[in-house]
Amino acid sequence: MKKKIMSLLEQFSKTMVQPIMYVGVVGMIMIIGVLLTNQTLLGVLPFLQWGPIQLVGNLIYQAVMTIINNLGILFVVGLSAAFAKKEKHSAAVIGLLSYLVFLTANNVSLNTFKMIITPNEFTGLSGTGQAEVLGFQVLDMGVFSGIILGCVVGYIFNRTNHVQIKNPMFQMLSGVRFSFFVMIFVSLFMGWVAIWTWPYLQNGINGLTGVISRTNEFGLFLFGFLDRLLVPTGLHHLVYTPFLFTEVGGVQTINGQTYSGAYAIVMAELKDASLPFTDSIYYMMAMGFTKMFAYIGIGLAFIYTAFKQNRARTITLIVPLMITASVASITEPLDFLFVFVSPLLYLVHSILAGVFIVLLKLFGVTAMSGGLLNSVIMNVVLGVEKTNYPIYFLLGALQIVVYFVLFSFIIKKLNLKTPGREVDANAVQIIKPSSEVKKSQEAVSEGIDAENIVNGLGGKDNIIEVDNCFTRLRVSVKDVEQINDDLLNGYPNSGIVKKNNDIQIIYGLGVPEIRNAVQTYLENNK
């Protein structure tokens, strides 16, 4: 039973890689838009204010932010295709259409039962438990709506896409169209049932706000902890919004005017240099401190623990995401690289986030957080007396070190499959092409010899499933003894990895085209 559960978890982890691959690209492009539109950087480099540069920067930033704000689509389409054993393109289309049906059902159900919430004039739907997705006002389920639906689509697609209906009147519902037919009703049901189940989670989080506001340092720990832990679910909005915009985050009278909520209070205290920051500042700091420093430590740990042969590409993947998190406070691209690979590691991350917010208060730090560039300049301008920023940056450096050391230890100790560690070199057989084979590979034309690859894998009858990750063709085979290394080495690769009946061939970033060629060959030679 344990072996079966671990196998399912490993399969889910490998499948999650498919949509997450694109998140890395998003992060790389995002940093360009962030740097071109950052107000602090514009003050230092005035030439960036030139109209065409700003147009390009805003186009990049807004376009990529649309992806960040709609990651549910990425996961539902990506997981639907990744779980499908054949006709992955059809599964992806069904995943997208099912998501639209799900959103519509959720929106219509909320309206029908008078549960729809009117957006606030200033804060919109933030903190209400609802959000706008693709123009639909629905329950705010973060990426979980896409993940859950993607898994359901993959499961149902694999069990229904072979169904053939002989009745001429309904024959058009055969095959993948039958899978879509089934998913319409499943998606409708899921959209409806969500309005009765998901709010229980939301109400539970809402109930914690009172505990946080009443328990001083423990409350701050809980605030920082939940702000990170709940990011994948979208429920973190319910934690921070009341503290930022309502009296839960404090009430202060400043120069004769009363302000409610940490955001309004801090903005008022910011305008008057003679006023010290009150404790409301800590709710603001919890939103940015960990984003600025922790993700540098996380990224360095991923790079350090990556297997040697994977380190170069790990650096290419991780560094832009570290910069995006630190400079732009956008952490989702890096979060989703490890939250599902190792929930334990993400739990440790959330605990550390809460601990460091408490340390900031214990050391009397009242600095501003909001992106590394902005934070450095703003706190220096405000001065040491108002912010105690030297301790702030010392604690930031300490957080980087703590994250790096602790993450590196846990990753190695538990042999976690974080970026760059997709295969354990000590647990598998790795066959690298010899120098003579490499010379012969260099003479191979650019055309993909799918037939040779299939024969090298023991033939089409020996192949159970074909997939790929960032750089590797992943194949499940019936009999590993039928693998012919010489045939596989007939097409350029950097090594063949064998672990039980799982075969991985390291082709590099062009592996999606190779996978498509192999799958096309298999489909055409049934």
Nearest to 490 by CA among 438, 426, 525, 415: 438
The residues near 397 (Cβ < 8 Å, ≥ 6 apart) are: 293
* Alpha-carbon 447 to chain mean position: 34
**Lookup: tokens for 97:** 């259409």
Task: Give the whole-angstrom CA distance, residue 358 versus residue 224.
Answer: 9
| C-alpha gyration radius of the chain | 26
Rounded to 5 degrees, what are φ and ψ at 320? -60, -35
Tokens linked to 180 = 């879509």
Rounded to 10 degrees, what is the CA torsion of 290, 294, 296, 299?
A: -130
The C-alpha atoms of residue 368 and residue 124 are separated, in whole angstroms, by 24
**DSSP per-residue codes, 25-42:** HHHHHHHHHHHHH-HHHH
> If you write DSSP's letter for every residue of 315-353 in order, what string do you get?
HHHHHHHHHHHHHH---HHHHTTTTTT-HHHHHHHHHHH
Q: Where are the beta strands (DSSP E) in 114-192?
A: 130-133, 136-139
Q: DSSP code of 462?
A: G
Catalytic residue flag (residue 151): no
Which residue, 512, 404, 482, 493, is CA-closest to 21?
512
- 25, 469, 480, 522: which is the annotated catalytic residue? 469
| Cα distance between residue 249 and residue 524, in whole Å | 63
Contact 321, 24 (CB under 8 A): yes
Are β-strands 502-506 and 251-254 bridged in parallel, bridged antiparallel, or unpaired?
unpaired
Enumerate the active-site residues: 469
